[in-house]
Amino acid sequence: AVPLVVAINTTMAARNGMLIRDRIAMEEARNLDTIVFDKTGTLTKGEQGIVDVTTTDWDEDELLAVMAAAESDSEHMIAEAIREEADERGLSVPTVREFEALEGRGVRATVEVEAAVAPGVDGDSVRDGDTVYVGGPNLLRHLNVELDAELEAFADEAGERGQGVVYLLRNGEAVGAVALADVIRDESYEAIEALHEMGVEVAMLTGDSEDVARAVSEQLDIDTYFAEVLPEDKDKKIVELQDQGKLVAMVGDGVNDAPALTRSDVGIAIGSGTDVAVESADVVLVENDPRDVAHLVQLSRESYRKMQ
């Protein structure tokens, strides 16, 4: 039989928008030392839009048309922002073949162009069969791409403003970039403050750049952050914290958070999360509200007190 306290606990949890998939993990939540949050889409709303564009010698519209083409099959928030910008500018987007998503880095595609890619543009920028990449700093590192001084300066300025930068590479060379502004969820401030009051440390894990991670951490008063982490390395950061003797929870929503959710002592999937994230989690928070993480710890502590 299910012990009475646990039954109450589960009902209470459900009432608070929490689905308990593993009761033991729910009980362990009262002892958590550190809670690690995924940044994008969890503490922030996800990439919101393009705020700046730069090119080496291309036209801005050409750049965005080709970027949108490369991103046409990607479900990433960044891809959506780029397609939206191309749409707003009324660009005709070339078609691509051999699309490949490079998890945590960006996308690769081969362009098919017959004519000009943007109104008033001669169409010299890309040729049929050119391979293009769109991605962030992890992609540059992966492909060993060096930026010219102009792009470097663009990236530095965006970084200082806490904005992410995504580049277009053609034939191994960066030809332009866009800066994307993400917005921190209002609820994140309260969530972190509440956890701190409960004596829980807060960490952030992201594939995004060092600059963006630092800016978000400072704003939210986060204790530790891990930036430019590749999806396959996210779970290693959890192990690093566990090796310091800490009981660790991971909060995430994406496919690439699944291994970290599995590895953590308490895996928490948040919001509309993917099926993979939900399946890897011990607790599912139904609303996309980081404050529910603090409620979860609170509920676990209250249930424990009743049991004593």
List active site positions: 38
Stretch in the footprint of Mg ion (CB under 5 A) among 39-47, 77-85, 94-102, 121-129: 39-47
The secondary structure element, H or E, covering residue 80 is: helix 77-88
Size of the site for ligand ADP (CB under 6 A): 24
Asked if 46 touches ligand ADP (CB under 6 A), the answer is: no
d(CA 52, CA 158): 8
Asked if 254 touches ligand ADP (CB under 6 A), the answer is: yes
Q: Which residues, numbered 136-165, are part of the site for ligand ADP (CB under 6 A)?
A: 136, 138, 164
**In the complex, minimum distance from the CB of residue 3 to ligand ADP, in angstroms, rounded to a whole number:** 38
d(CA 202, CA 241): 12
Chosen residue from 63, 117, 132, 134 binding ligand ADP by CB under 6 A: 134
**In the complex, minimum distance from the CB of residue 68 to ligand ADP, in angstroms, rounded to a whole number:** 11
d(CA 185, CA 51): 19
Q: Give one DSSP letter per residue of 110-146, joined into a string.
A: EEE-SS-SSTT--S-S--TT-EEEEE-HHHHHHHTPP
Chosen residue from 9, 34, 40, 209 binding Mg ion by CB under 5 A: 40
**In the complex, minimum distance from the CB of residue 303 to ligand ADP, in angstroms, rounded to a whole number:** 32
d(CA 183, CA 45): 6
Q: Is 190 exposed, middle or buried (0-12, 13-18, 19+ CB in 10 A)?
A: middle
Asked if 254 touches Mg ion (CB under 5 A), the answer is: yes
User: According to the 3-state scheme, what is the secondary structure of 38-77?
Assistant: EHHHHHEEEEEEEEEEEECCCCHHHHHHHHHHHCCCCCCH
Asked if 135 touches ligand ADP (CB under 6 A), the answer is: yes
DSSP state of 208: S
Asked if 280 touches ligand ADP (CB under 6 A), the answer is: no
What's the distance, CA 8 to chain centroid? 35
Asked if 136 touches Mg ion (CB under 5 A), the answer is: no
Indicate the residue whose CB is closest to ligand ADP: 136
Q: Which residues, numbered 70-109, are part of the site for ligand ADP (CB under 6 A)?
A: 71, 74, 76, 78-79, 104-107
d(CA 119, CA 114): 14
Residues within the interface to Mg ion (CB under 5 A): 38, 40-41, 254
Binding residues vs ligand ADP (CB under 6 A): 38-40, 71, 74, 76, 78-79, 104-107, 134-136, 138, 164, 166, 206-208, 231, 254, 256
